Structures are given as C-alpha cells and as structure tokens.
Amino acid sequence: MRRRLRPILALVLAPVLAGCFASGGGGSDSADTGSRLRVALAFPPAENLSPYGADSTILSRLGVTEGLTALDANGTATPALAASWRQEDEKTWLFTLREATFQDGSKVTPAAVAAALTHATRAAPAPAAVAGVTLTAKAEGAGDVRITTGAPDPILPLRLSSPSLAVLSAKAYKEKGDVDPVGTATGPYELTKVMGTTAATLDRYDDYWGGRAQATGIDVKFVADGTARASALRTDQVDLAEAIPVAQAATLDKGTREATATTRTTSLLLNSQKGPFEDAALRAAARAAVDTSALAEDVHEGYADRGAGIYGPAVTWAAGKRTEPVGRAEPGRPDGTRVTLATYDNRPELPEVAQVLKQQLEKAGFEVTLEVREYSRLESDALAGKFDAFVLARNTLVDTADPVSVLASDYTCDGGYNLAQLCDKDVDRAVAEAERATDTAGRQDAAMAAEARILGTDAVVPLVHQRIITGVGSSVSGALLDPYERTLVGIGTRR
C-alpha cells in the first residue's frame, strides 16, 4: 500500500514549515547581494552533531567540515586542507597543509591537525573510517603532518576524506570526549546555532581558504517526514530538500527533482548472533522468501535497481568481478517462527519496503512484528542487536570510498557498525586479505571475494540499489549531488 500525498496533510504542514523557514535568518549581511539558502534535511542529529558517527555527513553536506582530503567524482582522493601528500614508506605518509584558518580565527597548524586526528582515533566507538586501524599523527615542521599506520594502509588518502575525520580547532574538543563543531570547523559555512534535533543556523565563513560562498548563510530544518519535505519544496518554503519519497516525485515539477545514482544499497540485515536468525537455515529461508523485483519496481517505482550484492551499479567495476556466494546453507522451515523486523522512516520508502518484506516473510511461514521509528531513536537498539531483522539503506562507500572499509565496519567481528551482529572467521579472514591488497585491481578482486563470503552467511540480503531524489528549487544553482552523498551545499550553491 503506497502512501500518497493527502491534501489535508499538505495544508496542515504548509503553515508550520513556512514559519520554520521564514526568510531573513540571523547572520546575513544586508549589504550583500547573496541570499540565504533554506534546506530541509531528512535526518535529525542522532549524536549531538558529533563528527564521529552518522551526523558527520550532515556537517559535510552543509559545507561546515572538511578533512585533509576530499573525493572527486570518480572517488579519487583530492586536496582539501592538505595541498599535497606523498608516501614515504609503506606505513608513513607526509601531508603538506595549505594556509587556512578555523572558524574561531585560529590557524590550521600541523599541531592542530595532529590533535584533531588523534581525538578521532581515541573516540569510542571509533569512527568507521578508522575502525581497526592504528593511526598516529604528528606535526612535522611548520607546514607538514606525518601520519604513520600500524600496518601498510594503501588507501590512507581516501580514508582521510571521510566526513568522520574532519579537522576541528582545539576549542571543539571537550571533556569526556564530547566534540562541538559550532564555530570550530574550516568549511565555507559556520554552524552558529543548533536547536536540538529540529533546526540549525549557519552563516557564511568569509575567510574560507577556498573562496567566499555565494549564499550568505543556510537555514536548516530537520524534517523526518518525506511528504512534508516534498510539500515544503513544492510550496517554495525551502530551496533544497533531500531524500524526496518516490511516491512524491510526480508531485514536483520535473525541473525541480534530481535523481542521482548512488552507492547506496538497501539491505535486510539478519541478527546472526542471537534469536531465530542465529540459525543459518532460517536466515537462508528468509533470503529465499524475498522477491526484490516487487521492491525495485513497485515500492521504488523504478528509482532503484534490484539488489545484486553489497555494491550496486554505481560501483561500476563490481558487476564484472562478482562471484557466487560461498557457503550458503539450505533453507529451513520457519514453521511460525516469530521475528521482529525494524526500520526507520527518515527514508520514506523504508517502512513500505519493510511492510512488503513482512508480507513476503509471513507467506514463507514466519510470524513478523514490524517496528518503525525515527532513526535517532532506533540506532542504539539496532547496534545492540535488539532486533531480529533490520532494513537499512547504507551508502557502501560513504566512509572512505574504499570498497573494503564498509565490509570491515559492517560485517566483521570487531566492526563498529555491525547491525547484523555477524562474527564469522572465514568472513574476517577474507576481509583482512582484502585490507592487505595494495593495488586497485587486486583490492577490488579481494573485496568481491569477501562479498561472496559475506553473502554466503545470509546475514545480509541486498534488496535494492537506490537512486536518490533531491528536490532542487527552480531558482537554485550549484547544488552538489554526488553518489557518495557527502555533499549538498558548496561555495557555488545559491538562489
């Protein structure tokens, strides 16, 4: 049953959002010809905007934070706060910094960068980009930072592009490990005010090393309801709205909706550590019950491809290197086995995906209880393994743009984002082998071999590979849409 826009709901939401996005927010310069951007984001902060978890991409998408490196359109590391770098030996790299300042006025120095990276490596839990990685950063002279890894790390420049390894000033780091990005980052926009999980205000940082942004600031509203985001864009209450529901796409003018192929895969994750899906035969039965065509063609209305693996079509090299899953069990008989299936509603297709999965699993003989919450109210329980099954939309290259990193964080015994609670020695061995591969082709081959091992456990069932729809107002230019979903607003974004 697809949810469509209800006229009454749209009328109710319109005045509410109009108040939220009233023009003329604080911090704009009346002498400036630029104007403020109004942005609706789908995910409220889950961790007080800490850069070390899922909130890190909120900060990078809004142009607040940046690291030593960034990614280009091909997923290659490019200069950011580091103007250049070179590898000294298999474990040591030297990064030369550009001249830049933090938003609190202090200089970006080698000591400040080294301290920021050290804080990240000591965070608990560790950011996904450095989970399982030993990394030491030290200032070297007036303009360099030397980074040493415990083991050879051929993808270190990619790793340092992760939003979770953003460089902040000394004022950001508080007692007990808390991190405050307000006024302490280096990007073109300065976070000046955060209203809990509902809204935030950003002003242009005029001393940004990359040039002056064209918009004077950004007024952000966190709107978990997808229908409300679409309505706000359609009625000109926002300029940019992320994650437009596919069911709402047709309500927007063609010129205001942008579909971007992404490296995001929606998967069914089965708790392999406890509960009914500890049994590999029942995991196999759940996998066999899933019909992905119904999800791609009906739920996503063609804005998705059927699940082929952990990596989808946007990872262009994957299909030609994919091999069959290794070690799959034969499907067992559910015989009324009770399971709890959870997901979140920030991505509006997910509850409908979960509802279809519920029907498919029940047809196969499971008894399914469905639980849907907003993501920030669900994440801790999911990480603790409190659900039998979980529907997750995951950008497989968001953390480092390295195909192996997501395997290590999501599917190994020590993985920091292992919602499937998977701990399999053969999987760990395959991922470790992939992590040791140094050349690009060899690393890709090893990643696909590890994917085959992971899929063989049936702890993850790839469902669809998404195309994300972003609402872009007709007067907006320069929105940054990329398959890694790290960017949205840059110095050239304006209305």
* pLDDT single digits (tens) 464-490: 998 999 999 999 999 999 888 899 999
**Same domain? 246 vs 326:** no
- Tell me which amino acid residue 134 is: T
Report pLDDT for 313: 87
Q: Which of 43, 56, 8 is nearest to 487 (CA)?
A: 56
Phi, psi of 86 (to 5 degrees): -150, 150
> SS3 for 362?
helix
Q: What is the mean pLDDT of residues 213-229?
A: 96
| CATH number of the domain within which 436 lies | 3.10.105.10
**Same domain? 327 vs 300:** yes
**Same domain? 123 vs 205:** no
Report pLDDT for 316: 84
Domain count, the chain: 3
> Which helix (H) or strand (E) is 81 found in, with range?
none
Instruction: Confirm if 84 and 98 have CB atoms less than 8 A apart.
Output: no
* pLDDT single digits (tens) 84-109: 999 999 999 999 999 999 999 999 99
> Which helix (H) or strand (E) is 436 found in, with range?
helix 425-436
140 burial type by CB count under 10 A (0-12 exposed, 13-18 middle, 19+ buried): middle
Sequence-distant (6+) residues with CB within 8 A of 232 are: 13, 14, 17, 21, 40, 221, 223, 238, 241
pLDDT band, very low/low/confident/very high, at 34 (cuts 50, 70, 90): low
CB atoms within 10 A of CB 452: 19
Q: Is residue 413 part of a domain?
A: yes
Dihedral angle at the C-alpha atoms of 165, 399, 179, 151, nearest 10 degrees? -50
Domain final residue, candidates 120, 137, 172 = 172
Decide the pairing of beta strands 199-204 and 389-395: unpaired
Paired tokens of 187: 């990007």
Percent of the chain surpassing pLDDT 90: 77
* pLDDT single digits (tens) 295-307: 999 999 889 999 9
Q: Which of 266, 264, 320, 321 is nearest to 290 (CA)?
A: 266
Q: What is the mean pLDDT of residues 188-195?
A: 97
Decide the pairing of beta strands 77-79 and 69-71: antiparallel
Report pLDDT for 76: 86
**Predicted confidence (pLDDT) at residue 382 exceeds the cutoff of 80:** yes
**Same domain? 240 vs 278:** no
Paired tokens of 450: 């590890």
Q: Is residue 291 part of a domain?
A: yes
Q: Which of 316, 327, 357, 320 is nearest to 340 (CA)?
A: 357
**Predicted confidence (pLDDT) at residue 31 exceeds the cutoff of 80:** no
Domain final residue, candidates 145, 172, 199 = 172
**Minimum mean pLDDT among 90-94, 201-205, 339-343, 432-436: which range?**
432-436
- Tell me which amino acid residue 182 is: V
Decide the pairing of beta strands 199-204 and 189-195: antiparallel
CA distance linking residue 325 with residue 466, whole number of Å: 22
**Predicted confidence (pLDDT) at residue 198 exceeds the cutoff of 50:** yes
Q: Is residue 419 part of a domain?
A: yes
**Predicted confidence (pLDDT) at residue 436 exceeds the cutoff of 90:** no
Q: Is residue 249 part of a domain?
A: yes
**Same domain? 273 vs 385:** yes
The b-or-e profile of 54-91 (16+ CB within 10 A means b, else e) is bbbbbbbbbbbbbbbbbbeeebebeebbbeebeeeeeb
Sign of the four-CA dihedral 270, 275, 280, 283: negative
Domain final residue, candidates 230, 253, 276 = 253
> SS3 for 145?
strand
**Same domain? 131 vs 163:** yes
Paired tokens of 354: 């979960």
Q: What is the mean pLDDT of residues 377-402?
A: 92
**Which residue has better confidence, 271 or 396?**
271
- Tell me which amino acid residue 344 is: Y
**Same domain? 329 vs 446:** yes
**Same domain? 297 vs 434:** yes
Q: Is residue 290 part of a domain?
A: yes
Q: What is the mean pLDDT of residues 434-452?
A: 91
**Distance, CA of 57 to chain centre:** 6
Decide the pairing of beta strands 144-149 and 135-140: antiparallel
**Same domain? 238 vs 361:** no
The distance in angstroms from the start CA to the end CA of the chain is 37
Q: Is residue 54 part of a domain?
A: yes
Chain mean pLDDT for the chain: 91
| CATH number of the domain within which 110 lies | 3.90.76.10
pLDDT band, very low/low/confident/very high, at 177 (cuts 50, 70, 90): confident
Report pLDDT for 89: 95
Instruction: Confirm if 57 and 181 have CB atoms less than 8 A apart.
Output: no
Q: Where do we find the tokens 């990394």? A: 135
Instruction: Confirm if 483 and 263 have CB atoms less than 8 A apart.
Output: yes
Instruction: Confirm if 268 and 355 have CB atoms less than 8 A apart.
Output: no
Q: Is residue 232 part of a domain?
A: yes
Report pLDDT for 483: 85
Q: Which domain holds residue 461?
A: 261-467
The 8-class DSSP code of residue 256 comes to: G
Q: What is the mean pLDDT of residues 163-190?
A: 94
**Same domain? 93 vs 154:** yes
Q: Where are the alpha helices (DSSP H) in 101-235?
A: 110-122, 156-159, 226-234
**Same domain? 75 vs 58:** no
**Same domain? 356 vs 437:** yes
| CATH number of the domain within which 54 lies | 3.40.190.10
Q: Is residue 179 part of a domain?
A: no
